[in-house]
Amino acid sequence: MTFGATSTTDDVLAGVDLSGKRILVTGVSAGLGVETARALAAHGAEVVGAARDLDKARRATETVRKQAANGGSLELIELDLASLKSVRAAADRLVADGRPFDVVINNAGVMACPFGKTEDGFETQFGTNHLGHFVFVNRIASLLKPGSRVVSLASAGHRFSDVNLEDPNFETTEYTEFGAYGRSKTANILFAVEFDRRHKDRGVRAVAVHPGGIQTELGRHMTPEVTQQMIDSINAQAPAGSTGAGFSWKTIPQGAATSVWAAVVADTDEVGGLYCEDCHLAELQNEPGLRGGVRSYAIDPANAKALWELSEEMVGETF
């Protein structure tokens, strides 16, 4: 079955039975995280949803519980990715509990926010989107059984910028909201590249995905003007006469489809250590613009290894 940009979570999971599968999804208090959890639980998966605000997550995931079927379920855990203390506590609780996972989906994140720092002093977007997940997934790696997968939500926004290994916290370079977002999303892809390299010998694979343009709480810091500028820029950079040149938003079920596809449907040998969009493997695309494809720097193994080493140094922990 071939899926594409308009495929939904229900399309991708049609006929798929996830009974007995245990799947962790971060960021289940809104948008893509809620839809991802709903679709998985509706097909029988035991979903563990992580969120910073558990009250908000409980309200947001009522539909997940209502639609859970075939033994599907949802339990919530507290996880604030902008606090390594919270990240380590959440990971330690899961490891102590000891139940393994079939899939971990790193869905949570922040986008294009004003300059700020996490509790540990990291630039907000790099610290939350990358370093928080970096520590969390590495700490629970022992729970990933052979055949399991890690799905890292990245973005076409990785095309804004490569990572800056010399100045990850913008101490000497000028901060821009989208530049910082781009760095963090490139980091999400590079994490999947290196995690996959380190764990594939034991049958654990990692893949990065771009969900597409979706209007969710992720864009809460973007004014309508900034959003329109982004759309105009994407449209202006579309090749003349190309099909689908006009930008269009995806629905949330369409946006979550690639995460779900990469998590339980795609052939891991085809997507492991790589970057996917619209429910297929993305092509290498180094031309300017944001429309599609993956930049070579984002899947460069040497870049991935260097980022891993820097990340360990920043968080004070070796994996």
Active site residues: 181
Q: Are strands 144-153 and 101-106 parallel, antiparallel or unpaired?
A: parallel
- Strand segments (E) across 63-211: 73-78, 101-106, 144-153, 205-210
CA distance 105 to 11: 19
Structure tokens given for 297 = 């720097």
As a whole number of angstroms, the distance between CA 77 and CA 91 comes to 10
Could you tell me the CA-to-CA distances from 212 to 4, 116, 292 in Å, in that order?
11, 26, 9
Rounded CA separation 46/146 (Å): 18
Angle in degrees, CA 86, 319, 96, rounded to 5: 50
Both tokens of 141, joined, read: 């790696």
Check if the beta carbon of residue 295 is closer than 8 Å to that of residue 159.
yes
At a CB cut-off of 8 Å and minimum separation 6, what does 294 contact? 158, 189, 274, 275, 282, 283, 284, 285
